[in-house]
Amino acid sequence: MKQERYVAYVGTYTHEHSIGIHIYDLDVNEGTMKERRVVNITNPSDLLVSGNKKFLYSITDDGVKAFKVLADGDLEPMNEQWIGGMRGCYLDVDDENRYVFVGGYHDGRVSMLHLNEDGSVGAIADGIFHKGLGRNAADRSSRPHVNCVKVTPDQKYLCAVDGGLDHVKVYKIDYANGKLKLADIIHGDLDSAPKMIRFSKDGKNAYVLNELKNTVDVYNYSEGENGTAFERIQTISTEDRKNDHSSSQNMEFSFDGRYLYCSNAGPNEISIFERDADTGKLMLVCITKISGDFPKALAVFPDNRHFMSLNHESNEICTFMINYEKKYALMHGRPQKIDKPNCVYIHKLEKDT
C-alpha cells in the first residue's frame, strides 16, 4: 500500500525574508516537515484549499487570490479580486465552490464573492458592514471586528465571529441570488471577544473560542424550519490558571474529530481537550508549553499524534508528539525558522507524483 502524501501551506506576513506561502512536504509517520518552495504573495493572513481539492484561496493585500493546486502540491497563480473593503483576515468557501466569504477585522465587513467555474475568483456578490459598539465606546477593540467566517456543516448559513461586539452573527446564504440575510445572533459573554468558531465532524456541536476570556463556549447546533438553534451547554477555560496577559488565538480539531486544540499567547501554551462523542462537551487532556512566543496558529497532523505550533513573534514552527493516554506532549525535532508565520492548512495530495 502506498503511503498517503501531504503538504502544509504556511502563510507569512511580508517581512524581511518572508514573502508569502511556504510549501512543506510532510512525513506524517515521523511527524516532520521539510520546506520545498515559497510562492510570492503579499500578507496571506489566511488560506485554505477548496472542498474539491483543486484550488487554494488566500487573503492578500488587494483582496483574495486564487491558485490552482497541482498534483505535487505546488501552486499555480490564477487571479485575484478586490473584496470591496479593507484587507481581510479570514476566509471560507462553501463545499460546492460557489462563493468565497471573507471576514474583515479592520472594517468589520463580511464579503461574499462569486467563484467561477474554472475556480478563479469572480465579482463581489454581497457585502455587509457590522454596526454597533461593544465593551467601551472609547476602546477601538469595541468596534466591529470580524475575526472569522465559517459556513455551517449543512451549508445553509455563514457564521461571522465579531470580537468587538462579543457575538457571532449567523447569515442565511442565498446561493441563487448571491445574498446574505441575518438569521440569528449568538450572544457571547461581555468582554469575551470571540475569536473563531469550529463545528464537530458530526455537525451536532459548535465551539466558539474567546480571546479575552480564554474560554471555549460549547453549543448544541441544529437547523429547523424556523432557522438555526445554538444552545450553550458548556464553557471551559483554555488555561490551567488565570493569567491576565493571556490571549486565546487559535482552535483546531484533530483529523479524527476527537480532540480539540487551543493556543494561548502570553503563557505561550496549547491546551488539548477530548470531545465527548455523545454530549459534545470537552474535557481537558493536558496543557503544553510551546517553547516559543505567540502561538498564532496551529495544525494537527493527519496521524492525530503530532501537531505544529506557528510561533509568530519568535519566528518559528515547532512540532510536538502527543501522548493522549499519559496526558503529555513533547517537542519533536528542532524548531524550523520562518519569519512571521500566521496561518496553516494541511492538504492531502490526490495522486502520486
Q: What is the chain's mean pLDDT, rounded? A: 94
pLDDT in tens, 271-308: 999 999 999 999 999 999 999 999 999 999 999 999 99
pLDDT in tens, 183-222: 999 999 999 999 999 999 999 999 999 999 999 999 999 9
pLDDT > 70: what percent of the chain?
95
Q: List the single range of 10-14, 87-91, 278-282, 316-320 with lowest mean pLDDT.
A: 10-14
What pLDDT band is residue 353 in, cutting at 50, 70 and 90?
A: very low
Mean predicted confidence (pLDDT) in 154-176: 97
- Give the contacts of 123 (CB within 8 A, at least 6 positions apart): 81, 113, 114
Which residue ranges make up each domain of the chain? Answer: 6-348
Written as nine digits, the cell of 298 is 496551529
Q: DSSP letter string over 284-300?
A: EEEEEE-SSS-EEEEEE
Class of domain 6-348: mainly beta
Q: List the single range of 1-5, 238-242, 253-257 with lowest mean pLDDT.
A: 1-5
- Give the contacts of 225 (CB within 8 A, at least 6 positions apart): none
Q: DSSP letter string over 142-211?
A: GS--EEEEEE-TTSSEEEEEETTTTEEEEEEEETTTTEEEEEEEEE--TT--EEEEEE-TTSSEEEEEET
For the cut 70, the answer to whether the pLDDT of residue 352 exceeds it is: no
What pLDDT band is residue 242 in, cutting at 50, 70 and 90?
A: confident
What pLDDT band is residue 138 in, cutting at 50, 70 and 90?
A: very low
Mean predicted confidence (pLDDT) in 233-244: 90
For the cut 90, the answer to whether the pLDDT of residue 168 exceeds it is: yes
pLDDT in tens, 290-300: 999 999 999 99
The pLDDT value recorded for residue 200 is 98
pLDDT in tens, 66-117: 999 999 999 999 999 999 989 999 999 999 999 999 999 999 999 999 999 9
The pLDDT value recorded for residue 350 is 82
For the cut 70, the answer to whether the pLDDT of residue 136 exceeds it is: no
Mean predicted confidence (pLDDT) in 244-248: 91
The pLDDT value recorded for residue 227 is 78
What pLDDT band is residue 140 in, cutting at 50, 70 and 90?
A: low
pLDDT > 90: what percent of the chain?
88
For the cut 90, the answer to whether the pLDDT of residue 141 exceeds it is: no
The pLDDT value recorded for residue 122 is 98
